[in-house]
């Protein structure tokens, strides 16, 4: 028996799955409908069926013995295609069902009438149907009663689904509320026990809350701090007045520097980041983070004092012909914080172009990466380093830089600065290159010897004239290559050279 499928079959199957009633135990509410349908129509069997891909399930079975059947042989497969219902007075006389196993064998069904269970969205989930073992007719009133019962049955199904959805939504809402409460607790714990100092002040300047980091930072107990006016803990009255005025004007404070009074009488320098929470246009409270910058401020003051005391030294550094830079290794990327005029003269860069930058901007395509690695290693190890490297001026021209970098430590051993001196040795390098070229191309025998009496360097003419290889010449004392009659006079001349006397 082949029947067509509803056009919205896929949506119907999905809806049936969402209702979660397929393959569940029979429910009392359906039994009431099947019992009433059997009584109204005076039939021995009444069913509520639900139909999925290939099965027909009897969710309520009044008078019958089975709980399911194949969709292929189900009368209801035709019923779901007819919105007004299906009536089969005599199944043996109907060619659609005459050979149906349910007709020609147990339970020998001869009469069938059914109406579809149609949801409010228009999906047919199954049927409400009646059956008899003998042919019979169904009155119009009885068919209308079946239709009414089917509408009530599907209404109960949808009501049950709505209640289930509400319960599910309620559970989800409760779970979400619990998650939100947990998040709030986590946030409160982070604010209360986090490392950053934080306090809140109301519109009158009264501290209404502070976390433990704030209390520990200033040394006050919660009772000593909460409920007090914030001005009580500021060392500068004008400063706190300015802060409160700006916040009241809805200004956000970023890195505002101030001085706070600790319980032990000491003063701490801080940066303040704060804004106001406004509720219905009214000042509720501030959210104020304070960051301790005392160490930095004290270091700045010490540098300023040292600069004042050593102004003559500073003038001397500014007057030297070699470039001098000072970098701060305690800041990110070890930036330049000072350069003398000679540095600008050598490189072409002005102070405003250099301050705050790492010295690597002088490097270029010809800078030896091995030399750079050597310098970086020394800086990482906080030790002095000397190197000669090719650097580049602002105009792109190259120059040879004889560089020396020295660390500066405090009395306590803390690294404060690196001082670098840069000497432009380009002229010397060119002279050395010219000397080396002359040494190599000269037809005269030329050599460089050490005071230990051995050759250190020989030009090609020396090797060609004597006929020895460079290895042979460097492996023996130079006096071995002097004629025996000339050795005494040669040694005397060498002795003069060792004392700086010309020969």
**pLDDT computed for residue 25 by the predictor:** 46
- The total of other beta-carbon atoms located within 10 Å of residue 502's CB is 6
Q: Which of 20-24, 96-100, 432-436, 455-459 has the highest mean pLDDT?
A: 96-100
Kindly state the average pLDDT of the residues 101-110: 90
pLDDT band per the 50, 70, 90 thresholds, residue 463:
confident
Cα 34 from Cα 150, distance rounded (Å): 10
CA distances from 124 to 11, 77, 277, 404 (A): 10, 11, 56, 90
Summarised one tens digit per residue, pLDDT across range 214-260 is 999 999 999 999 999 999 999 999 999 999 999 999 999 998 999 99
Query: Do 215 and 225 contact (CB within 8 A), yes or no?
Result: yes
Instruction: Specify the pLDDT at position 503.
Output: 65
Q: How many residues belong to the chain? A: 503
- What the chain holds in terms of domains, given with CATH numbers, is 9-164 (3.30.450.40), 194-297 (3.30.450.20), 310-429 (3.30.450.20), 442-498 (3.30.450)
Q: What is the pLDDT of residues 120-129, one digit of tens each?
A: 888 888 899 9
- Residue 325, helix vs strand vs coil: strand
Burial class (CB in 10 A: 0-12, 13-18, 19+), 247: buried
Say what percent of the chain tops pLDDT 70: 89
Stretch 191-205: mean pLDDT, rounded? 86
Question: Tokens for 26?
Answer: 């029979």
* Count of C-beta atoms within a 10 Å radius of residue 198: 20
Cis amide leading into 107 (omega within 30): yes
Supply the mean pLDDT for the chain: 85
Q: How many whole angstroms separate alpha carbon 181 and alpha carbon 158?
A: 34
Helix (H) or strand (E) holding 66: none
Strands (E), 332-479: 336-339, 385-392, 398-409, 415-424, 447-449, 455-458
To which H or E segment does residue 282 belong? strand 282-292
């Amino acid at each position: 028996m082949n029947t067509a499928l509803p056009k919205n079959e896929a949506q119907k199957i999905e809806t049936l799955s969402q209702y979660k009633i397929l393959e569940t135990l029979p429910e009392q509410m359906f039994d009431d409908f099947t019992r009433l349908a059997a009584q109204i129509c005076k039939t021995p069997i009444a069913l509520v069926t639900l139909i999925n891909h290939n099965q027909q399930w009897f969710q309520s079975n009044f008078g019958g013995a089975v709980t399911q059947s194949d969709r292929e042989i189900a009368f209801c497969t035709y019923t779901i295609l007819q919105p007004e219902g299906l009536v089969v007075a005599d199944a043996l006389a109907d060619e659609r069902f005459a050979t149906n196993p349910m007709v020609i064998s147990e339970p020998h069904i001869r009469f069938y009438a059914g109406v579809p269970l149609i949801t409010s969205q228009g999906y047919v989930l199954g049927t409400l149907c009646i059956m008899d073992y003998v042919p019979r007719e169904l009155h119009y009133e009885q068919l209308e009663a079946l239709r009414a019962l089917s509408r009530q049955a599907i209404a109960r199904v949808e009501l049950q689904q709505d209640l289930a959805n509400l319960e599910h939504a309620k559970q989800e809402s409760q779970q979400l509320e619990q998650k939100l409460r947990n998040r709030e607790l986590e946030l409160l714990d982070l604010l209360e026990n986090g490392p950053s100092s934080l306090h809140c002040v109301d519109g009158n300047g009264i501290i209404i809350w502070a976390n433990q980091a704030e209390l520990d930072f200033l040394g006050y107990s919660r009772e000593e701090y909460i409920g007090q006016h914030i001005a009580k803990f500021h060392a500068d009255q004008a400063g706190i007045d300015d802060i409160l005025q700006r916040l009241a004007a809805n200004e956000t404070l970023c890195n505002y520097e101030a001085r706070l009074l600790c319980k032990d009488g000491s003063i701490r320098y801080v940066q303040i980041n704060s804004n106001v929470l406004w509720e219905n246009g009214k000042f509720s409270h501030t959210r104020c983070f304070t960051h301790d910058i005392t160490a930095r401020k004290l270091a700045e003051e010490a540098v300023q004092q040292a600069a004042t005391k050593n102004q003559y030294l500073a003038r001397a550094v500014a007057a030297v012909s070699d470039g001098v830079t000072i970098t701060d290794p305690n800041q990110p990327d070890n930036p330049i914080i000072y350069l003398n005029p000679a540095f600008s003269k050598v490189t072409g860069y002005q102070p405003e172009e250099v301050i705050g930058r790492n010295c690597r901007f002088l490097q270029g395509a010809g800078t030896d990466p091995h030399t750079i690695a050597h310098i970086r290693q020394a800086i990482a190890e906080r030790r002095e380093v000397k190197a000669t490297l090719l650097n580049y001026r602002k105009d792109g021209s190259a120059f040879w830089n004889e560089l020396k970098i020295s660390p500066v430590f405090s009395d306590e051993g803390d690294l404060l600065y690196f001082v670098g001196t840069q000497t432009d040795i380009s002229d010397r390098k060119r002279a050395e290159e010219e000397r080396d070229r002359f040494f190599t191309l000269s037809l005269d025998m030329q050599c460089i010897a050490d005071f230990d009496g051995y050759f250190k360097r020989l030009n090609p003419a020396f090797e060609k004239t004597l006929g020895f290889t460079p290895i042979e010449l460097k492996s023996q004392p130079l006096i071995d290559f002097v004629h025996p009659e000339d050795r005494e006079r040669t040694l005397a001349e060498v002795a003069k050279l060792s004392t700086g006397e010309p020969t």
